[in-house]
Amino acid sequence: TSVSPHARPIIRVRPLTCTETRRGDRRVVHSLGDGAVHVSAARHDATFGFSTVFDTGASQEAVFEGSGMRQLVELAIDGFSCTVFAFGQTGSGKTYTLMGPLAQSETQPASPALLGLMQRSFACLLEQSRSRGSDLALSASYLEIYNEQIRDLLSPGSPCTLPLRWNKTHGFYVENQLSVDFESLEAIVSLLLQGSQRRRTSAHALNRHSSRSHALLTIHIRSRAGRQSITPLTWVLQPSACPSKQGTLCFVDLAGSERVKETGSSGELSVEANSINRSLLALGHCISLLAKPRGKWTHIPYRDSKLTRLLARSLGGSGITLMVACISPSSRCLSETLSTLHYASRAQRVTTRP
Ligand code: ADP
Ligand code: MG
pLDDT tens for the chain, 354 residues: list them.
344 444 678 999 999 999 999 999 999 999 998 899 999 877 778 999 998 999 999 999 999 999 999 999 999 999 888 999 899 998 999 999 999 985 445 566 678 899 999 999 999 999 998 888 768 999 999 999 988 899 999 988 877 789 999 998 878 889 999 999 999 999 999 999 888 888 765 544 445 445 678 999 999 999 876 444 444 444 444 444 444 578 999 999 998 776 544 555 556 666 767 777 788 888 888 877 776 766 556 788 888 889 999 888 777 767 888 999 999 999 999 988 998 998 888 877 666 666
Mutate which of 12, 13, 14, 276 to test ligand 1's pocket (most atoms within 8 Å of Cβ)? 14
Query: What are the two backbone dihedrals, phi and then psi, of residue 51, each rounded to the nearest 5 degrees?
Result: -80, -35
Amino acid symbol at 113: A
For the chain, the maximum distance between any two Cα atoms, rounded to a whole number of angstroms, is 64
Which ligand 1 atom sits nearest the alpha carbon of residue 88? 3
Residues 6+ apart with CB under 8 A from 160: 151, 152
Please answer whether residues 177 and 162 qualify as being in contact, where contact means their C-beta atoms are separated by less than 8 angstroms. Answer: yes
What's the CA gap between 123 and 60, in Å, rounded?
Answer: 14
**Ligand 1 within 6 A of CB of 326:** yes
What's the CA gap between 113 and 268, in Å, rounded?
Answer: 37
Residues 6+ apart with CB under 8 A from 50: 9, 10, 11, 35, 37, 344, 345, 348
Is the overall model pTM greater than 0.75, yes or no? yes
What's the CA gap between 354 and 346, in Å, rounded?
Answer: 20
Residues 6+ apart with CB under 8 A from 33: none
100 C-beta neighbours (distance < 10 Å), count: 22
Domains contained in the chain, CATH given: 8-102+113-224+245-290+300-348 (3.40.850.10)
Alpha carbon of 101 to ligand 1 centroid (Å):
7
Instruction: Find the angle CA(17)-CA(200)-CA(210) to the nearest 5 degrees.
Output: 15
Give Cα 321 to chain centroid, integer Å.
Answer: 9
Residue closest via CA to ligand 1's atom 5 equals: 93
Which ligand 1 atom sits nearest the alpha carbon of residue 210? 4
Please answer whether residues 289 and 273 qualify as being in contact, where contact means their C-beta atoms are separated by less than 8 angstroms. Answer: no
- Ligand found nearest the CA of 16: 1
What SS3 state is found at 186? helix
Residue ranges near ligand 2 (ion) with Cβ within 5 Å: 94-95, 211
**Ligand 1 within 6 A of CB of 92:** yes
Alpha carbon of 102 to ligand 1 centroid (Å):
11
* Binding-site positions for ATP: 88-95
**Ligand 1 within 6 A of CB of 90:** yes
Which ligand 1 atom sits nearest the alpha carbon of residue 14? 23
C-alpha radius of gyration, the chain, whole number:
20
- Ligand found nearest the CA of 113: 1
**Ligand 1 within 6 A of CB of 226:** no
Please answer whether residues 142 and 214 qualify as being in contact, where contact means their C-beta atoms are separated by less than 8 angstroms. Answer: no
